[in-house]
Structure 1
Amino acid sequence: MIKKAQINKKEEKEKLNGKGGSSTMMDFLNLPEDKLEYISAFLSLTPFVLGPIFTFWWLIRLSRKEQVRFDSSPYASLVEEANRASGTAQENQQKKDEKYQ
Structure 2
Amino acid sequence: MLRMETVGPTFGADEVRTAIAGEIRALRGRRGMSQTELRERAGFSRSTMRRIESGERDVEIAELMAISTALGINAAELLQAVQDSLEGKQL
Query: What TM-score results when the alignment is normalised by the length of structure 2?
Result: 0.31
Structure number with the higher helix fraction is 1
Query: What TM-score results when the alignment is normalised by the length of structure 1?
Result: 0.28
Task: Flag the structure with more relative contact order, 1 or 2, with Cα contacts below 8 A and sequence separation at least 6.
Answer: 2
In our comparison, the structure showing a higher alpha carbon Rg is 1
